[in-house]
Every structure is written in C-alpha cells, then in structure tokens.
Amino acid sequence: MTRKKPSTLSRKPHKYHVPAKEREYFSENLGLLLQSAVPLGEAFQSLANSTRSRPMKKALHATLADIDSGLSLADALQRAGIVGNQTLALVRLGEQSGNLAENLQIAAKQEEKSRVFRAKVRSALLYPVFVLSLTLVVGLGVAWFLLPRLAATFSQLHVDLPLISKILIQFGTYLNTYGIIAVPLFLAAILLIGYILFGFTPTKSLGQRLLFKLPGTSRLMREAEIAQLGYLMGILLNAGLPITQAVTLLASASNLVHYKKFYRYLAISLDEGYSVKDSLARYPHSQRLLPPTIQQMIIAGERSGSLPSVLLTLGRTYEQKADLTSQNLEVILEPILLIIVWFGVLLVSIAVIIPIYSLVGGLGQ
C-alpha cells in the first residue's frame, strides 16, 4: 500500500464519542495484541470486529485509515478522539521509546482507575443533587399553589404584610399567572448555565473555579490531580523522558485549567534552566495547587536523584486519599445542604407566620 504524507489527508478530523469502558477495553486489548506480535493493522481490524459499539467501530476504522495515510498512532488516535489526553501521552511516549505495548497496559489500568473514581464521585454527589432538586420542586410547588391563596386571604382581611411576605406573595402570584411558561424557562436556564459552567470548553474554567470554592469538591479535585501528577510523571521519568517533556505531556493530560496553566509554566521555566525549587517559588500561589509538603518531597527527590520513585509513591498515596475523600464527600457536603434547606424553610415560614400573628393580634383587639 502506498503511504501518503500526513499533509495529503483528505478526511477531516472527527471526534467520536466513545464510552469510558470502551476506551479501557481498547487500550488493554491493543496492548495485549501488540505484545503478541500482532501487526498494528490486524490488531485494529480485530478490535473493530469484536466491538459492538458503532461509534467505537467507526473510530477504529477511521484511525486505521489515518495510520495507512502516514500518521503515527498517537496522531491518528488524537484525530479520532478515542482515548483521553493521559493515554495519548503514554502512547506518544511508547512510540518514541519502543515500549508501546507496555505503555498501553499502563494506560488501560489508569483508565480503569479514572472510570472507577468518576463512578464513586457520581455516587457521592447523587444524594446532594437529589436533596437540592427535591427542595427546588417543593419550593416551587409552595410558591405556585399555596402563596396565591394566602395572598387572596390576606388581601380580603386587609393584613399589613412585612416586606419579605410581600416579595414572596408577589412571586407566588406571578407563578400562578405565568408559571406554565416561567417554570420550564427557569429549568432550561439552569441546564444551560450548568452546560456553560461544566460542559462548554471555553467557559469550563468558570465551573472549575466554582468547584474549587466548595470545601469537599476542592479537596477531592486537588487530591485526584496530585495523584495523576505523581503517577504519570513517575512513569514518564522512569521511561527516560526529560522532565521538561514530561511536564508538557502532563499539561496535555490534565483536565483542570488551573493545573494546565501551572504545568505549562513549569515546562517553560525548566526549559529555561531553572530548577524545580526555583520554578515553584517563582509561580504565584503555587502552594494552593501543590501543598508545601508535596513541594518539599518533589524538591528532595530532585536533589537526591530519586524523583521518579518519589512521584510514584506520591501518586499511590494521593490516590488512596482521593478514594477516601470521594467516599466521605456526602458527609462533607451534608452540612451545606442542611443550611440551604434550613434557609428556604425559614424564609417561607417567616413570610407566612408573621402575617398570621398580625391577623390573630388584630382579631384579639
């Protein structure tokens, strides 16, 4: 088959939406096939024949076509979007060092860890989301159906209402008139805001800033990122990659905007000849991203020449911490939920009870 140069590719890049389980299956089985000396084209064909996912099947055929056109495996996978940034970095390193099969096995294990971790986080967040959703539904129901009736009653009895009662009753009256239109628009606005904060790439950093302000999620995100830093950097340095390139690949593997910016700065600073200690000291607020104890461990590892082993130990330690925090996330967020529910109940109670006391006092006189 005649190979074309990458610049002559006719197919436009297309990102396929491949489930996390399929990604893990792809990395693990491709590594096993390559370790068994199966040619890359036959390995892709075998995986395409065995998968039942139509997006995955299309992605595998598109990736194989790009490889036949002259692209490297890492570039072809990047065009198809089959694997994440972390796996992509390991594949690129494996092609450079000749350890592609071993790196794919490592990537598969890390994909599995990430998938299990995300499942734990979703499970921990299920209770808070349920409580907040139920609170919102009950609050809208009270404002929509109860407050307009109270408004009519208080109006007939000429009760002098406090400001908070007037605001809530006017809100209930508005819902009674325009609720069929206003409530769906409100729910759609919430979904749109959620997508802008957490799903839309250009504005995803705003949602991450918000999560970093919450006590439970900020700790969990920091521990998971440090675990990835230690694990991936340790593997890359053990494979003989220069630290500057390792940090650059780490930046491409990270999903957090703050850490991406931090890693890119470190790569530039190290490339300019600064040590890890000086690079960390020059970055503003670096201790918010990496605690001082972690920085001291990394600096000591650089001085002693044992940085890869220190980073791998750091990755294992913080992976366990992240697992524990994800299990306790529900307990951490429970006081915040109680405060939100308490405030909503208190607001409605004050708005309703104060006019009733005024009415009873007027009747007594």
pLDDT in the model for residue 317:
92
User: pLDDT per position in the chain (365 positions), as tens?
Assistant: 344 444 445 456 667 777 777 877 888 888 888 888 888 888 888 888 888 888 888 888 888 888 888 888 888 888 888 887 778 877 887 887 778 888 888 878 777 777 777 777 777 778 788 888 888 888 888 778 877 777 777 777 666 777 777 887 788 888 888 888 888 898 899 889 888 887 777 787 788 788 777 777 788 888 888 988 888 888 888 877 788 888 888 887 787 888 989 999 999 999 998 888 899 988 988 888 899 999 999 999 988 889 999 999 998 899 888 888 877 877 777 788 888 888 888 877 777 777 777 666 555 55
pLDDT in the model for residue 263:
92
Indicate whether 287 belongs to any domain. yes
Indicate whether 353 belongs to any domain. yes
Are residues 270 and 342 located together in one domain of the fold? yes
Cβ atoms 88, 25 nearer than 8 A: no
**What residue numbers bound the domain in which 20 lies?**
11-83
Are residues 153 and 78 located together in one domain of the fold? no
Indicate whether 89 belongs to any domain. no
Are residues 20 and 119 located together in one domain of the fold? no
Cβ atoms 355, 269 nearer than 8 A: no
pLDDT in the model for residue 264:
92
Cβ atoms 103, 249 nearer than 8 A: no
Q: What is the CATH number of the domain that holds 50?
A: 1.20.81.30
Are residues 223 and 365 located together in one domain of the fold? yes
pLDDT in the model for residue 8:
45
Indicate whether 3 belongs to any domain. no
Asked which of 45, 64, 83 is the last residue of a domain, the reply is: 83
Are residues 70 and 174 located together in one domain of the fold? no
Cβ atoms 249, 74 nearer than 8 A: no
User: What CA–CA distance (Å, rounded) separates 207 from 196?
Assistant: 8
pLDDT in the model for residue 12:
62
Cβ atoms 93, 249 nearer than 8 A: yes
pTM value is 0.70
Indicate whether 208 belongs to any domain. yes
Contacts 24+ apart (CB under 8 A), 219-224: 219/325, 219/332, 220/121, 220/322, 220/325, 220/326, 220/329, 221/256, 222/289, 223/318, 223/321, 223/322, 223/325, 224/117, 224/318, 224/322
pLDDT in the model for residue 5:
43
Number of domains in the chain: 2
HSE-CB of 220 using CA atoms within 13 angstroms? 23
Are residues 363 and 218 located together in one domain of the fold? yes
Which is nearest to 318 in space by CA: 339, 293, 350, 352? 293
